[in-house]
Chains A and B, each alone.
Chain A
Amino acid sequence: MDPQHIRNFSIIAHIDHGKSTLADRLLGLTGTVAARDMEAHSQVLDAMELEQERGVTIKASAVQMHWQAPDGEEYELNLIDTPGHVDFGYEVSRALAACEGAVLVVDATQGIEAQTLANLYLALEHDLEIIPVVNKIDLPTAQPEEIKLELAALLGGSLDEVVLVSAKEGTNVEAVLRAIVARVPPPSVPTGTDTPLRALIFDSHYDSYKGVIAYVRLQEGEVDGQTPLLMMATGTKTLPVEVGVFAPEMKPVRVLSGGEVGYVATGLKSVREARVGDTITSARNPAVQPLVGYQPAKPMVFASFYPAEADDFADLRDALEKLQLNDAALTFEPESSEALQFGFRCGFLGLFHMVIAQERLEREYAQDLIITAPSVAYELLLVNGEVREIHRPSDLPEPTLTVEVREPWMEVQVITPNDYLGAVMEIFRRKRGELLLTETLDTKRVLLTFEVPLAEMVVDLHDKLKSATRGYASMDYTFDGYRADDLVKVDILITGTPVDALALIVHRDLAYERGSALIRKMKEAIPRQLFEVPIQAAVGGKIVARVNVKALRKDVLSKCYGGDVSRKRKLLEKQKAGKKRMKMLGNVVIPQEAFLAALRLD
């Protein structure tokens, strides 16, 4: 395809503003997906079961469409979908690097939200042409003209550039295609026939037959299924299985050329050999310089995943390895804990990423998991001058060995109706947040910029914000930097033994409050045993709070006659099986829920 007739673009939006519905419409309008298939399978791009259920896009995907524009010319339109959640901002950035334009969708009933801004700024960083679209104009509460003004003001453009659509009803969607063709610049491809291939891998997934499928944007040159390829960063050479495009399912083509978007089925067995961000070139006629790649995403939220049954450790490792093939940002390393035995310390981009990983492990890989409370990556300045990063609270050394303990801080932008301003401020105050900026967005809403420690965010900030504002506030966040503070380790002791998996790092001012809240939760979660079980919270080795789980006094069925034998026996068998799934700490039996108690701290 002549690069002049190629348009590469993304759709960016705040969650639920209708990005996937618009994408579906574009696929239908261009005949990429037949209308009747659309009915059966709405939100074509969201292939994963989880994506469809949660209504969010988790992984970027790329679809090729062909459309005959009013000028009579046929265009190849490559829609590169972006994840809709802030944890995946890094993946958004990757997808945007493969585009020249972005369709910015805003809900006509909601207006600009926190992620609208965050995604817009990312797109502008990549010098993309922005096509503003106001969606859901069919809804009775829609205020298209007001939102149009907001958008024009935000982008500094003219009102005429804003396209008003109802993706659900199919109203005016073609205007979006026209705007893409007219305004998104074609890819710039150097002329000359023997330019060596350079293709940027912006995403990948693993296919058990074709190996790693690299999603590529060709900068220049050509790739076909016959020529050996070289991964420039890793030096891996491979003969690809095939090349193709997503239409939207994988469709092999003979050749992909400069400016195009598609896939290379590499045949490689590990994503480590064909990393996202690497440049693919020809092994016979290699390029000299790779394209500018990406910094690998750095996980900052950590939690331990343990198999519910110790025997399933190897299964969990296999499942994590497979998941990692499709989730480059996930990290994991084996660890052991006295209570939970053998498991993995996993790193995530954020809490949502963690929840998605957990659900995928449970559903797609049938793993039964115990997950510890999430923590963050801390940076330590030791007395010997060394700087060390730790990924679990129990690794925090004695206070005498550290000069500074630093934690990641985030810059958080919140858009909230004025009515909830006080509630939002209070939530952030309790989370050690600092208000940097208050901006008036319109007559009803303000944009607040806070700084807040990530550790305070990971527990329940998003839920708290949503419930305090009845769902009206939206937020987005970016990493701001590490800051030293008076951070201490809170140990939780059960019958006098510290339980690694329950240790916390918190600000000294909150240590007592958090420690006692956690042990109260533990008391609820630990069943009474045949003896009294003391649970203590200690700060720096000093006990600050204690509760006791009283000894069990009564556990017997008082009625048991001839007709009860089977039922009674089955009850005991169930009790016994339940106990088997619990964890032993010394002679104390601890159910899995106890480890989740820290997740639900109020």
Chain B
Amino acid sequence: MRRALYIHIPFCLRRCTYCDFNTYVGLLPLRAAYVEALEREAVLWAERSPELQVATLYFGGGTPSLLSPDSVARLVNVARVRFALPADAEVTLEANPGTVAEQQLRALRQAGVNRLSLGVQSSHREELALLGRIHSWAEAVSAVAAARRAGFANLSLDLIFGLPGQSLSRWMETMERVLELEPEHLSLYALKLEPDTPLARRVAAGELPAPDPDLAADMYARAGELLQDAGFWQYEISNWARGRAPAPEIWAVPPAGQSEQISAWVAQHNLIYWRNTSWLGWGAGAYSWFQGRRWSNPAHPRAYIAAVKSGELQRVAEECIPSALEMGETLMMGLRLAEGVTTHRFRARFGLELSTQYGDALSHFVKLGLLSWDAERLRLTRAGRLLGNQVFAAFLP
């Protein structure tokens, strides 16, 4: 089983206006104790499950680029030594373009990181300000150049669209500029106003126009066309990898079992999430999905550090996932992928046929044109991509 390892770094220099993640400003002095706690958590895991192996490693946040390369190196090393992370495994680190210098990037590359995910978000000054980002577009451009010089062959860039007041042409300008940076991978996220974020409050107060979902749908469609022409393959609802899929349409289907070979730039770590296989989450508030259970660690870094120190890392919001729910979650995650949910994987995993389990819902959504279903796989249609929630809910028990 390919299992993923996620390490959460909950520190930021400033909170973005749209962010509701488990992240904290002003806790940088905790960094050393936090890294130490992560290493202890690794030991706790290894003691409990000595045979455990992981296939990918991902440093997410927060702002993982606030860790020293040395700390990153220690953690990568723990994964290699204790959890058999292969030498050529994908090791991703999320970086804020405002926090990386070339020297640091070199050191990170040296530490074993081979994929960078840069939060670029926009190429426009006013949009970056609206989002509360600490970097400029120029800094993003130089971060990409620095990463290349530091030896990163696999760069992923994050962008946000559907901002309050953002026009279609403004968005497409960002897309064009970003393509000039020649990334291997792109994640395009439609802005979601999360409750209690400064951005949501400003919209609620009428200071900013509410994002228009129809305009966001247009932005999504136009960006998809542009990326297809630029030689990207959309392999997930919000993710594109450089490289051609075998079929010409945007929402292309690779042959069964071959999607890993289609594009070397597909995010291997995230693929494990979407296939709902299994993952370990280390760090404050990180979720694990392991042996039929899902839980998270204590959310606050101090609580997490204290818990690890006590030698007993209590599980927060632990759920035992019964089979029917696991099937539903597998569809909810799997249908996000271009490859969809393959009948053979479903059968092998649950010992059941998709058709007997979900026959009525399947034909309902096929009739509505949101799902396509053949002997090989079930997947969202082009029209269904932006209406996924309508479909996913039907498969939850």
Which A residues fall within an 8 A CB radius of B?
A: 530, 550, 552-563, 565-566, 568-569, 572-573, 575-576, 579
A561 touching B273, Cβ below 8 Å: yes
Contact of B213 (CB < 8 Å), options: A553, A557, A569, A575: A553
Given contact pairs A553-B217, A568-B332, A562 touches B396 in the complex (Cβ within 8 A): no
Given contact pairs A572-B332, A572-B392, A550 touches B386 in the complex (Cβ within 8 A): no
B273 touching A562, Cβ below 8 Å: yes
Residues from 232 to 250 in B contacting A, C-beta threshold 8 Å: 237-238
B333 touching A556, Cβ below 8 Å: no
B189 touching A556, Cβ below 8 Å: no
Given contact pairs A554-B216, A560-B333, A572-B332, A566 touches B319 in the complex (Cβ within 8 A): yes
Task: Report B-chain residues with C-beta under 8 Å of the C-beta of A556.
Answer: 237, 385-389
A557 to B188 Cα, complex, angstroms: 12
A572 to B390 Cα, complex, angstroms: 9
Task: Report A-chain residues with C-beta under 8 Å of the C-beta of B286.
Answer: 563
Task: Report A-chain residues with C-beta under 8 Å of the C-beta of B276.
Answer: 565
Instruction: Report, nearest first, the 9 A-B pairs whose CB atoms are least far apart.
Output: A556-B388, A553-B217, A562-B273, A563-B287, A558-B190, A572-B393, A576-B393, A558-B189, A558-B238
Residues from 294 to 330 in B contacting A, C-beta threshold 8 Å: 294, 296, 317, 319, 325, 328-329
B317 touching A555, Cβ below 8 Å: no
What mask results when residues 206 to 236 of chain B are scored 1 for a CB within 8 Å of chain A, else 0? 0000000110110010000000000000000
What mask results when residues 348 to 377 of chain B are scored 1 for a CB within 8 Å of chain A, else 0? 000000000000000000001010000000
B396 touching A557, Cβ below 8 Å: no
Task: Report B-chain residues with C-beta under 8 Å of the C-beta of A575.
Answer: 389, 393
A232 to B238 Cα, complex, angstroms: 79
A572 touching B389, Cβ below 8 Å: yes
B4 touching A565, Cβ below 8 Å: no
Least Cβ distance of A491 to chain B in Å? 29
User: Contact size class for B?
Assistant: 35 or more
* 15 pairs, A vs B, C-beta closer than 8 Å: A530-B368, A530-B390, A554-B216, A555-B388, A556-B385, A556-B387, A558-B188, A559-B238, A560-B273, A560-B336, A561-B273, A563-B6, A563-B281, A566-B317, A573-B396
Among residues of B, the one whose C-beta sits closest to the C-beta of A555 is B389
A423 to B249 Cα, complex, angstroms: 65
Task: Report A-chain residues with C-beta under 8 Å of the C-beta of B237.
Answer: 556, 558, 560
The answer, yes or no, to whether B251 is at the interface (CB within 8 Å) is no
Given contact pairs A555-B388, A572-B393, A561 touches B294 in the complex (Cβ within 8 A): no
Task: Report A-chain residues with C-beta under 8 Å of the C-beta of B6.
Answer: 562-563
Q: A530-B387, A558-B190, A565-B294 are in contact. List 14 more A-B contacts (CB 8 A).
A: A530-B390, A553-B213, A553-B387, A554-B387, A556-B385, A556-B388, A558-B192, A558-B238, A562-B273, A562-B281, A562-B287, A565-B289, A569-B328, A579-B393
Task: Report B-chain residues with C-beta under 8 Å of the C-beta of A572.
Answer: 332, 389, 392-393, 396
Least Cβ distance of A487 to chain B in Å? 41
Among residues of A, the one whose C-beta sits closest to the C-beta of B160 is A558
A555 to B368 Cα, complex, angstroms: 15
B387 touching A552, Cβ below 8 Å: yes
The answer, yes or no, to whether B270 is at the interface (CB within 8 Å) is yes
B214 touching A554, Cβ below 8 Å: yes
Least Cβ distance of A557 to chain B in Å? 7
Contact of A557 (CB < 8 Å), options: B4, B8, B192: B192
A563 to B297 Cα, complex, angstroms: 11
Task: Report B-chain residues with C-beta under 8 Å of the C-beta of A566.
Answer: 287, 294, 317, 319
The answer, yes or no, to whether B279 is at the interface (CB within 8 Å) is yes
A554 to B390 Cα, complex, angstroms: 10
Task: Report B-chain residues with C-beta under 8 Å of the C-beta of A562.
Answer: 4, 6, 272-273, 279, 281, 287, 289
A562 to B333 Cα, complex, angstroms: 9
A46 to B220 Cα, complex, angstroms: 61
Among residues of B, the one whose C-beta sits closest to the C-beta of A579 is B393
Q: Name which of A550, A561, A576, A579 has the most chain B CB atoms within 10 A of its CB.
A: A561
A355 to B385 Cα, complex, angstroms: 45
Task: Report A-chain residues with C-beta under 8 Å of the C-beta of B394.
Answer: 576
Task: Report B-chain residues with C-beta under 8 Å of the C-beta of A557.
Answer: 192, 388-389
Among residues of B, the one whose C-beta sits closest to the C-beta of A556 is B388
Among residues of A, the one whose C-beta sits closest to the C-beta of B285 is A563
B332 touching A569, Cβ below 8 Å: yes
Task: Report A-chain residues with C-beta under 8 Å of the C-beta of B370.
Answer: 530
Task: Report A-chain residues with C-beta under 8 Å of the C-beta of B273.
Answer: 560-562, 565
Task: Report B-chain residues with C-beta under 8 Å of the C-beta of A554.
Answer: 190, 213-214, 216-217, 220, 386-387
A552 to B368 Cα, complex, angstroms: 13
A576 touching B396, Cβ below 8 Å: yes
Q: Name which of B190, B214, B368, B393 has the most chain A CB atoms within 10 A of its CB.
A: B393
A39 to B351 Cα, complex, angstroms: 69
Among residues of B, the one whose C-beta sits closest to the C-beta of A577 is B393
Task: Report A-chain residues with C-beta under 8 Å of the C-beta of B189.
Answer: 558-559
Least Cβ distance of A558 to chain B in Å? 4
A277 to B285 Cα, complex, angstroms: 69
B214 touching A550, Cβ below 8 Å: yes
Among residues of A, the one whose C-beta sits closest to the C-beta of B214 is A553
B287 touching A555, Cβ below 8 Å: no
What mask results when residues 235 to 278 of chain B are scored 1 for a CB within 8 Å of chain A, else 0? 00110000000000000000000000000000000101100100
Least Cβ distance of A196 to chain B in Å? 70
Least Cβ distance of B113 to chain A in Å? 18
B387 touching A555, Cβ below 8 Å: yes
What mask results when residues 327 to 344 of chain B are scored 1 for a CB within 8 Å of chain A, else 0? 011001100100000000
A550 to B333 Cα, complex, angstroms: 28
Given contact pairs A555-B386, A555-B388, A556-B388, A561 touches B270 in the complex (Cβ within 8 A): yes
Q: Name which of A562, A565, A569 has the most chain B CB atoms within 10 A of its CB.
A: A562
Contact of B287 (CB < 8 Å), options: A559, A560, A565: A565
Least Cβ distance of B366 to chain A in Å? 13
A171 to B29 Cα, complex, angstroms: 68
Task: Report A-chain residues with C-beta under 8 Å of the C-beta of B387.
Answer: 530, 552-556
Task: Report B-chain residues with C-beta under 8 Å of the C-beta of A568.
Answer: 332
Among residues of B, the one whose C-beta sits closest to the C-beta of A570 is B396
Task: Report B-chain residues with C-beta under 8 Å of the C-beta of A558.
Answer: 188-190, 192, 237-238
Among residues of A, the one whose C-beta sits closest to the C-beta of B21 is A563
Task: Report A-chain residues with C-beta under 8 Å of the C-beta of B389.
Answer: 555-557, 572, 575
Task: Report A-chain residues with C-beta under 8 Å of the C-beta of B285.
Answer: 563
Task: Report B-chain residues with C-beta under 8 Å of the C-beta of A550.
Answer: 214
Task: Report B-chain residues with C-beta under 8 Å of the C-beta of A555.
Answer: 386-390
Task: Report B-chain residues with C-beta under 8 Å of the C-beta of A530.
Answer: 368, 370, 387, 390
Task: Report B-chain residues with C-beta under 8 Å of the C-beta of A559.
Answer: 189, 192, 238
Least Cβ distance of B371 to chain A in Å? 12
B386 touching A553, Cβ below 8 Å: yes
A566 to B315 Cα, complex, angstroms: 14
What mask results when residues 177 to 205 of chain B are scored 1 for a CB within 8 Å of chain A, else 0? 00000000000111010000000000000
Among residues of A, the one whose C-beta sits closest to the C-beta of B390 is A555
Least Cβ distance of A352 to chain B in Å? 33
A568 to B220 Cα, complex, angstroms: 21
Task: Report A-chain residues with C-beta under 8 Å of the C-beta of B333.
Answer: 560, 565
Among residues of A, the one whose C-beta sits closest to the C-beta of B332 is A569
A189 to B217 Cα, complex, angstroms: 84
Least Cβ distance of B391 to chain A in Å? 9
Among residues of B, the one whose C-beta sits closest to the C-beta of A529 is B390
Task: Report A-chain residues with C-beta under 8 Å of the C-beta of B328.
Answer: 569
Q: Name which of B192, B272, B332 has the most chain A CB atoms within 10 A of its CB.
A: B332
Least Cβ distance of A531 to chain B in Å? 8
Q: Name which of B289, B325, B329, B390 has the most chain A CB atoms within 10 A of its CB.
A: B390
